[in-house]
DNA sequence: ATGAAAGCGCTAACAA
DNA sequence: TTGTTAGCGCTTTCAT
């Protein structure tokens, strides 16, 4: 900065003014300064600036599985919105590990990010600490228990209810579920929707048909094997997320069980390939990009109002999910 | 920090020593300080520290498409390696836009990241500037033209050659290619491997069979339509990456063209679902996680040697790719 | 073994 | 309109 000032023949304060687009610098000097910055290939030191102004213009996002397209698409929404408002995005991957999630959050906190977007791996500790401190945070996808604000998600209960009902309406009676992590809202709510639809149809929920996974491909695979090796296997399966569906389909392939002829499959989460391979999957599609965009918008509102010293109340934003009917669901086999 | 010092009854220098694990602080004081930090929920200000020490312990990674699993899996490799060495990872998504890539790099530079991992969207400007400055950078996947070091990738030419040869050995003669962005090494090298195999088999490369995509799903879809609507369509197609393959499969589905009965498909990049849906895709599998891990290791070596003031020579690391034979390739239809 | 003080690169309040 | 200067929170010599 010194060098730039010297080369442009001005003081460093003038350079600073030019960088920050402050009014009150003559066009001539502005040009000189810009010229000098270009020739020196000068990049302002944002860490020094951040130290001074107390803001970093960086927001952090922590997701449980970066290889899951659901989160990367949400991230694109976050990113577009963040960029439009001059924020940089830092992404952290907790790998579904609450301890690592804590570590990442602590790291982001130390990095003095201006706000955090969190799809939690489970620790409600994060929720308690951050909200107590009134730190700008928005939860997405997974809403911590007891959290009644600052979150964006879909109506998981209704969505799972509708999915299960679709299975019922096709005539299925032996309907199994591959559940996700039950301590998470996305895990338990989807189970609840399933239960509701089953009860409404007066269908029993057999213990064997309630398979507990953890949202990972491997767990979906294992649950699929458990289910289809049963003496009386289900004729339809509701899978609680995309990764587990992948595992489920793998198990069906291994056991040479045709879908939907022998077993129908409906999956939470839609994905690029669901419609182009066989069987074309019936899915519950979430508005992934929009979830990210809305979450970032909410976070921006919180940050801005915090800057003004006031506390806004942002309720949970619930976006609609859509049922995409395709070929993996059909009336029970004969 | 002041508060912590006061609460622990020591000076801030002592607090600093404890935080950084410096020897020479009595166990008693250490305990007092740790206690104070815990009760105050104190998080060291990394931006102040960075300003002081001139390092951030942050490394930046820029990829052209975060929704592409190839990059997220590579990112997991990078992340594991980075974490193991005390580095935090910042991820940027250039969306295949060279201008935005420039912007992100400039941003990372201003954030004073200690190093950068780049899968470039095309601008060789980045290569020129960063290497001239001797800034620690490692390219992955896509190697800029003229770059002969500091990169990790697979042998794209051989891999594409082997893939095409597999098609030839099945008896195909009308073999088309959906190429990626030709200015990128991954685009041109895969074409070169294809050419080589075709020439070796004395097969002509028809102009219509050379479809130029841009690595996006949409381009793959369009190229697929172009190809299969030809008066004399190909009997086999080599697709240069996973996203374009998705688009290609969509076009086949739309045109109700069975694969592999009417057309064989072989795809660069393997993915979770390639083996579990029908048709099970024959692919060229890259060691994605390992690419990320090795790239990060190389970057660490460069950073560390730069810290010691020396310039180390890191050649391009070429990892092997594997052909996964599955059901989407078969002898030409009858 | 512990503390006092200088300074990292920048911004902002104030002076000229 | 432009320049001078204090200080953001930390680390690190150098005294003690």
User: What is the interface size between A and B, counted as CB pairs within 8 Å?
Assistant: 111
Helix intervals (H) in chain A: 2-8, 12-19, 27-40, 46-53, 69-84, 98-110, 124-132, 156-169, 185-200, 217-228, 242-254, 288-307
Chain A: give the shortest CA distance to residue B107, in Å: 8
**pLDDT the model gives residue B311:** 83
Please count the CA atoms within 13 angstroms of the CA of A309 that sit on its side-chain side: 0
A110 touches chain B (CB under 8 A): yes
Bridge partners of B62?
B92, B118
What secondary structure does DSSP assign to A73-111, as a single string?
Answer: HHHHHHHHHHHHTT-EEEEEE-TT-HHHHHHHHHHHHHT
Nucleotide nearest to B45 (CA to C1'): D9
Yes or no: say if A272 and A289 are a contact pair by the CB < 8 Å rule: no
Distance CA B147, CA B73 (A): 24
Beta strands A264-268; A236-239: pairing state: parallel
pTM score, two decimals?
0.94
Name the closest nucleotide to B54, judged by C1' and CA: C8
Give backbone dihedrals phi and psi of A258, rounded to 5 degrees, phi first. -75, 140
Contacts of B88 in chain A (CB under 8 A): 90, 107, 111
Nearest-neighbour CA in chain A from B141: distance (Å): 17
Q: Which nucleotide is nearest to B5 (CA to C1')?
A: C3
Residue with tokens 């709510």: A189
Three-class secondary structure of residue A54 per DSSP: coil
Burial of residue B315 (CB within 10 Å: 0-12, 13-18, 19+) is exposed
In whole angstroms, what is the distance from residue A329 CA to residue A232 CA?
Answer: 19
Shortest distance between the Cα of A59 and any Cα of chain B, in A, equals 11
Torsion of CA A261, A264, A265, A270, to 10 degrees: 80
Residue with tokens 């019922």: A168
pLDDT tens per residue across span A207-249:
999 999 999 999 999 999 999 999 999 999 999 999 999 999 9
Q: Look at A93 and B110 and tell me if their CB atoms are within 8 Å.
A: no
Using a CB–CB cutoff of 8 Å, tell me whether A52 touches chain B: no
Please give the pLDDT value at position B298: 98
Q: In sequence order, which residues have a C-beta less than 8 Å from that of residue A133 and are 6 or more positions away?
A: B41
What is the pLDDT of chain B when averaged over all its residues?
94
Residue B22, number of CB atoms within 10 A of its CB: 11
- pLDDT grade, residue B128 (50/70/90)? confident
CB contact under 8 A, B249 and A277: yes
Residues in chain B, overall count: 334
What is the pLDDT, as a whole number, of residue A26? 86
- Asked if B25 CB < 7 A from strand C, the reply is yes
* Residues of chain A with confidence (pLDDT) below 70: 334
CA distance B253 to chain A (A): 6
| Cα B111 from chain centroid (whole Å) | 22
Q: Kind of pairing, strands B151-154 and B317-319?
A: parallel
Within an 8 Å CB–CB cutoff, is residue B250 touching chain A?
A: yes
Selecting from B50, B66, B79 the residue whose C-beta is nearest the C-beta of A72 gives B66
Whether B265 has its CB under 8 Å from any CB of chain A: the answer is no
**B129 CA from D1 C1′ (Å):** 35
Residues of B in Cβ contact (< 8 Å) with A93: 75-76, 79
CB A135 within 8 A of CB A213: no
Residue in A51, A54, A52, A11 with CA at minimum distance from that of residue A32: A11
Cα B6–Cα B12–Cα B16 angle in degrees, nearest 5: 130
Residues 271-290 of A with CB under 8 A from B: 272-273, 275-280
In the block, tokens 């299969």 appear at B228
Alpha carbon distance A162, A193 (integer Å): 8
**Which tokens in the block code for residue A294?**
């809305």
Distances, alpha carbon A30 to alpha carbons A20, A37, A50, A327, in Å: 11, 11, 23, 63
Q: Indicate yes or no: CB of A278 within 8 angstroms of CB of B275.
A: no
pLDDT tens-digit readout, B250-263: 999 999 999 999 99
Q: Do A90 and B93 touch (CB under 8 A)?
A: no
Q: Which residues of B touch A51 (CB under 8 A)?
A: 45, 47-48, 51
Which nt is closest to the CA of A3, judged by C1'? Answer: C9
Task: Please state the length of chain A.
Answer: 334
Question: Which residue from B78, B35, B79 is spatially nearest to A100, judged by alpha carbons?
Answer: B79
What span, in angstroms and rounded, lies between the C-alpha atoms of A224 and A248? Answer: 5
Closest residue on chain A to B57 (Cα): A111
pLDDT at residue B334 is higher than 70: no
Enumerate residues 12 to 41 of chain B having a beta carbon within 8 A of any beta carbon in chain A. Answer: 41
| For the ranges A118-127, A199-208, B8-17, B306-315, the one whose mean pLDDT is highest | A199-208
| B276: nearest Cα among A221, A144, A18, A63 | A221
- Nucleotide nearest A12, from its CA to each C1': D3
Q: Is A329 exposed, middle or buried (0-12, 13-18, 19+ CB in 10 A)?
A: buried
User: For residues B167 and B329, is the Cβ–Cβ distance under 8 A?
Assistant: yes
A135 interfaces chain B, CB cutoff of 8 Å: no
Q: Is the peptide bond before A46 cis (omega within 30 degrees of 0)?
A: no
Nucleotides of C under 7 A from a protein CB: 1-5, 7-13
Tokens standing for residue A111:
């990095």
The answer to whether residue B222 scores a pLDDT higher than 60 is: yes
3-state secondary structure of A138: strand
Selecting from B88, B107, B253 the residue whose C-beta is nearest the C-beta of A107 gives B88
Q: Which of B48, B67, B107 sits opposite A72 (nearest CB)?
A: B67
Q: Give me the percent of chain B exceeding a pLDDT of 90.
A: 76
Tell me the pLDDT tens digit for each residue of B131-187: 788 899 999 999 998 889 999 999 999 999 999 999 999 999 999 999 999 999 999
B29 CB-to-strand C distance under 7 Å: yes
Unique residue bearing structure tokens 């979430």: A286
All residues of chain B having their beta carbon less than 8 Å from the beta carbon of residue A44 are 110
- Of A48, A250, A277, nearest to B51 by CB-CB distance is A48
**Residue (of A294, A281, A282) closest to A320 by Cα position:** A294
Whether B93 and A75 lie within 8 Å, measured CB to CB? yes
Task: State the Cα angle at B180 between B175 and B184, rounded to 5°.
Answer: 130
Cis peptide before B279 (omega within 30 of 0): yes
A158 lies within 8 A of chain B by CB: no
Check if the beta carbon of residue A113 is closer than 8 Å to that of residue A106.
no
The protein residue nearest nucleotide C11, judged by CA to C1', is A52
Across B65-71, average pLDDT: 96
Contacts for A220 with CB less than 8 Å, ≥ 6 apart? A178, A213, A239, A243, A244, A245, A246, A247, A248, A250, A251
Cα dihedral A133, A137, A138, A139 sign: negative
Closest-CA residue to A67 (of A322, A243, A328, A252): A243
Distance in angstroms, CA of A58 to C1' of C1? 40
Q: Which residue has the tokens 């010092």?
A: B5
* Distance spanning both ends of chain A, measured CA to CA: 78
Cross-chain residue pair B88–A67, CB shorter than 8 Å: no
Is residue A45 within 8 angstroms of chain B, CB to CB? yes
Tell if the CB–CB gap between A41 and B249 is shorter than 8 Å.
Answer: no
Cα distance between residue B174 and residue A215, in whole Å: 43
| Closest by Cβ to A47, choosing from B50, B250, B278 | B50
Contact B272 A91 (CB under 8 A): no
**Pair of tokens at residue B168:** 């030839």
Nucleotides, chain D, CB distance < 7 Å: 1-5, 7-13
Per-residue flag: A35 CB under 7 A of strand C: no
């Amino acid at each position: 900065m010194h060098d730039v000032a010297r080369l442009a023949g001005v003081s460093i304060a003038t350079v600073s003014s030019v960088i920050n687009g402050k009014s009150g610098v003559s066009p001539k000097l502005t040009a000189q300064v810009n010229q000098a910055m270009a020739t020196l290939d000068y990049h302002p030191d944002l860490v020094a600036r951040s130290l001074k102004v107390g803001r970093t213009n960086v927001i952090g996002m922590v997701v449980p599985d970066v290889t899951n397209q659901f989160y990367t698409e949400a991230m694109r929404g976050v990113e577009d919105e963040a960029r439009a408002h001059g924020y940089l995005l830092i992404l952290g991957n907790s790998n579904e590990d609450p301890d690592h999630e804590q570590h990442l959050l602590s790291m982001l906190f130390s990095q003095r990010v201006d706000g955090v977007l969190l799809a939690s791996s489970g620790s409600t500790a994060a929720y308690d600490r951050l909200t107590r401190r009134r730190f700008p945070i928005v939860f997405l996808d997974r809403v911590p228990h007891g959290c009644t604000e600052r979150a964006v998600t879909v109506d998981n209960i209704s969505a799972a209810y509708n999915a299960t009902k679709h299975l019922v309406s096709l005539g299925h009676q032996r309907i199994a579920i591959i559940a996700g992590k039950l301590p998470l809202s996305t895990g338990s709510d989807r189970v609840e929707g399933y239960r509701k639809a089953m009860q409404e149809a007066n269908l029993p929920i057999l213990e064997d048909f309630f398979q507990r996974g953890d949202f990972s491909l491997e767990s979906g695979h294992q649950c699929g094997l458990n289910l289809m090796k049963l003496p009386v296997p289900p004729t339809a399966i509701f899978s609680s997320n995309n990764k587990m569906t992948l595992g489920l389909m793998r198990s069906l392939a291994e056991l040479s069980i045709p879908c939907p002829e022998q077993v129908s499959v409906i999956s939470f989460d839609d994905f690029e390939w669901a419609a182009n391979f066989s069987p074309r999957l019936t899915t519950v599609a979430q508005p992934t990009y929009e979830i990210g965009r809305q979450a970032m918008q909410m976070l921006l509102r919180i940050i801005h109002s915090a800057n003004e010293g006031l506390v806004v109340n942002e309720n949970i934003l619930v976006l609609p999910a859509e049922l995409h009917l395709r070929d993996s669901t059909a009336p029970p086999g004969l």
